Structure 1
Amino acid sequence: MPSMEEILGGPIERERGVPGTRPGEGDKVRYVAFQEPHRPSDTFRNVTRAVKPPLPKRGGVVLEGCIVTLADGLRFYALSFHGDLEGWQRQVEEGARMLGLVSACIEADVLHLSDGRSVPLGACTIELD
């Protein structure tokens, strides 16, 4: 039996956008700043485990394949969560604050940073894995 790619005549590619920009996704995605030599996966682990006991009652959080870089060089990775959205939002935002890191969310294609700044996504460099 032929594969779906053979039937369609080429590779199947999933259309990806910037996490947090699709309708209904804003409450499920947060961004956290990181600096080299740290990798997003290292910072992700530290941020999501910083608050003890954990605030979310259910669900989980995953590292997304997206990095947003501001014009000043500050880099953010995306993470998304499901289940207890409010608990995960608080866990991530409080964990970042405890570690001295800036967190952010996206509303109407604008990145709103926890330090009070707002930056249009169009002014940022976006890397999608």
Structure 2
Amino acid sequence: MPHHTARIIIPTQPRRLTEITGEVAGWLPSTGITTGLVTVFCRHTSASLLITENASPAVWRDVVAWLDRVAPEGPLYEHDDEGADDMPAHLKALLTGASVQVPVVGGRMALGTWQGIYLAEHRAQPHRRQVVLHVAGD
């Protein structure tokens, strides 16, 4: 079974979701894989990946607001090496995950009509995040 990998760099905005569905979908044809599984992996502990609705920006704002309520900034944490947003960012990444997997059918990701892949930036500053793509299949 063939395997293919790539690394992409995604510039992020503070505490925002950045859709990366297009970058992953654009890479898939170069692999020649028509049936398989693609894994998207975030190489950071203060950013994460998720699949959510890609139609309404209100969904993205609500996700970020919910995560801020679940893991608020403040003097709640021992770990604050990189500032007040450091430990909350790690907690948000733990909740949302470092990777997503999507079946590949007919050479395309089998995402639902309203699904998109998002890189979630949990820090208060913009970053350039590394995301690794891996697909295996036929």
Both structures adopt the same fold (TM-score exceeding 0.5): no
Q: TM-score, normalised by structure 2?
A: 0.31
Q: TM-score, normalised by structure 1?
A: 0.33
- Larger relative contact order (Cα-Cα within 8 Å, sequence gap ≥ 6): 2
Structure with the largest fraction of strand: 2
